Amino acid sequence: MNRITALFDIKYPLIQAGMVWNSGWKLASAVSNAGGLGLLGAGSMYPEVLREHIQKCKKTTDKPFGVNVPLLYPDIDKLMQIIIDEGVQIVFTSAGNPKTWTSYLKDHGVKVVHVVSSVKFALKAQEAGVDAVVAEGFEAGGHNGREETTTFTLIPMVKEKLDIPLIAAGGIATGKGMLAAMILGADGVQIGSRFVATPEASSHVAYKNLVVEAEEGATELTLKELAPVRLLKNKFYEEVKALYQTTPSKEELVNLLGRGRAKKGMFEGDTEEGELEIGQIAGIIKEIKPAADIVEEIITEYKNSVLPKF
């Protein structure tokens, strides 16, 4: 037992990231049943949809699971009330100030983890009273920090300054990747992209197939003026790239992005006009397989890995 398995009462220090349009009850319960910690991605859910997913998760696993909540969500007070009403014990927060909700959640017996992209924000999260921190390198898919610090660089820097448990994220999809993160000082890992390529992920199969087909260099971090996001290179990405050639205003970028583009791409399967978020590690994901098999594969490789001798 290490600090993460003890904190969450789980078998393995492996967390499935709460990813918008991917992380519904089927994926979260499958990962939790396999010994990890499954997270529901509340960022793409209306409040009552979140309630439905929590209730279905309760019916399909008797193991711990949690909810990831982006703090910039417009109806966040409603999400938090549902989380408390439904008795969720673990919340991962991201994209905002952890001071805003940490005390409220902890007063209701919830364990709180905050996602950060720098040492500075890790220390602010610790100061806010969170139970653990996810330090995410910019290899990660979806929305990222502006610092462009890689996971390999970020983890030892955060570890040096932090007292509370540390979870590594960004560019981790294998047992050897997990081992590397743990050697660098992490107490556990959060894995997102690898769990996109599962039957249980709630996203569209056309998007999953593009993730499997992705090679090295297939993604790029862009739209930093709005909220930095790592995207698969598709028609929409090319439109963004072309607009940047004109030195666009923030308003022009907002107009191009429009509304609902991530849903269009990842959930509805419009692989041309949609926003397809995925991490750099997609280049080594070669097949869609059940979430439980992925957990077993990662843990087995982790345990069987032998450090090279010289």
The percentage of the chain sitting over the pLDDT mark of 90, rounded to a whole number, equals 89
Rounded distance, CA 84 to CA 30, Å? 23
Mean pLDDT of the chain: 95
Element (H, E) at 2: none
- What digits encode the pLDDT tens for the residues 151-175? 999 999 999 999 999 999 999 999 9
Element (H, E) at 216: none
- Give pLDDT, residue 306: 86
CA dihedral 201, 204, 206, 208 (to 10 degrees): -20
Cα dist from 106 to 24, 98, 110, 128, 130, whole Å: 24, 12, 5, 11, 8
Q: Are 262 and 277 in contact, with CB atoms under 8 Å apart? A: yes
Q: Are 138 and 116 in contact, with CB atoms under 8 Å apart? A: no
Which pair of tokens denotes residue 309? 């001798």
Q: How many CA atoms lie within 13 A of 248 on its CB side?
A: 19
Rounded distance, CA 224 to CA 83, Å? 31
Question: Which of 109, 23, 34, 35 lies closest to 69, judged by CA?
Answer: 23
Q: Are 39 and 15 in contact, with CB atoms under 8 Å apart? A: yes
Number of Cβ within 10 Å of residue 246's Cβ equals 8
Q: Are 204 and 296 in contact, with CB atoms under 8 Å apart? A: no
Radius of gyration of the chain (CA): 18
Q: At what angle do helices 47-60 and 25-33 cross, to 10 degrees?
A: 30
Which pair of tokens denotes residue 51? 């309630």
Q: Are 227 and 250 in contact, with CB atoms under 8 Å apart? A: no
pLDDT at 1 over 80: no
Average pLDDT value for residue range 9-14:
98
- Give pLDDT, residue 139: 95
The pTM score is 0.95
- Give pLDDT, residue 145: 83
Q: Where are the beta strands (DSSP E) in 32-178?
A: 38-41, 65-70, 90-94, 111-116, 132-136, 142-143, 166-169
- What digits encode the pLDDT tens for the residues 58-105? 999 999 999 999 998 888 999 999 999 999 999 999 989 999 999 999
Residue whose pair of structure tokens reads 């010289």 in the numeric block: 310
Residue whose pair of structure tokens reads 């397809």 in the numeric block: 276
Distance between first and last Cα of the chain: 30
pLDDT at 186 over 80: yes
Average pLDDT value for residue range 273-302:
97
Number of Cβ within 10 Å of residue 51's Cβ equals 18
